[in-house]
Amino acid sequence: MQRLRLPSTIASVAGCGLMVAVTLALAAAPAAAQIKELPTAPEFVSTYNSLADAILALHQTEEHMVRSILAAAYEHADEHLSRAQQAIVAKNAADAKSLIEALAVDVGQLATEGDNSVGAVRKRLILGGAHHNAAGEAQGIFEEGYVIVTKAAKAKLLASSRAIAQMSSAPKAPELTAEWQKVQAVYTELTKPAK
C-alpha cells in the first residue's frame, strides 16, 4: 500500500492551520497565566503603614481626650461635693443648694461624656462617619459616638444626677455621700485601664 502524498501547498496550508489553532489557544489562555503578578512597591506599603499608624493614633487620642473630659468633670464634682458638705455642716442652705445643683450637673456631664459643646463635636464626628465604638454600638453597648461611657453606666450616672438634684432642696450629708459613692463606683469602673 502506498501512502498518499499531499502536494506541498496543501501541506503548507495544513501546517498554517495548525499554527493558527495553537496561536488561538494561547490567546484564549487566562490573562493571569500570561502576566506575572508584581508585588506592591515597598514605598506604597510604607506610606500605607504610616497612614495606619496615624489613624490608630487618632483613635487613641480621642480616647485620651474623653478620659480627660471625664477626669475634669469628676474633679469638679468632687470639689462641689466637698464644698456642699461643708455648707450643710455650716447650715448654709443657699450655698448647699447651689453646690448640690452644680454637683448634679457635673454628674450629668460624666454620664454624657461632657457638656453640650462636647456633644456638638461628637455629633460632627458621627456625621463624618467616625464611630469610636462602632462594634459596641452595633451590640447595643454604647450610644452612637460615645467613647468611654456605656449605655448602662450612662443610665446609672443620670439616675444619680437626678437623685442629687432632688437633694438640693433639703440636703442631708449622709444621703449625699451615699449617692456620691454610686457615682464613684461607676466612674472607677469606666476609667480602669484597658486590658
**Grid cell 449625699 — which residue?**
176
Residue type, 30: P
Instruction: Tell the burial category of 6 from Cβ atoms under 10 Å away from its Cβ (0-12, 13-18, 19+).
Output: exposed
Task: Tell me how far apart the alpha carbons of residues 135 and 31 are, in angstroms, rounded to a whole number.
Answer: 40
Predicted local distance difference test score (pLDDT) of residue 7: 45
Whether 176 contacts 88, CB under 8 Å: yes
Predicted local distance difference test score (pLDDT) of residue 159: 98
Quote the Cα angle for 174-72-61, to 5°.
140
pTM: 0.75
Q: Three-state SS for 106?
A: helix
Residues contacting 101, CB < 8 A, separation 6+: 165, 168
Domain ranges of the chain: 55-191
**What are the average pLDDT values for consecutive 10-residue runs of the chain, which has 195 residues?**
44 46 51 71 88 85 94 97 96 96 97 94 90 89 94 98 96 95 97 80
Q: What is the CATH number of domain 55-191?
A: 1.20.120
DSSP letter at 193 equals P
Predicted local distance difference test score (pLDDT) of residue 30: 57
110 C-beta neighbours (distance < 10 Å), count: 28
193: left (phi over 0), alpha (psi -120 to 50) or beta: beta
Predicted local distance difference test score (pLDDT) of residue 16: 46
Show the DSSP H helices in 8-141 as ranges: 8-28, 31-34, 42-89, 93-111, 116-127, 134-138
Predicted local distance difference test score (pLDDT) of residue 54: 86
Residue type, 98: S
Retrieve residue 134's grid coordinates.
462602632
Task: Tell me how far apart the alpha carbons of residues 37 and 137 are, in angstroms, rounded to a whole number.
Answer: 40
Task: Tell me how far apart the alpha carbons of residues 166 and 159 are, in angstroms, rounded to a whole number.
Answer: 11
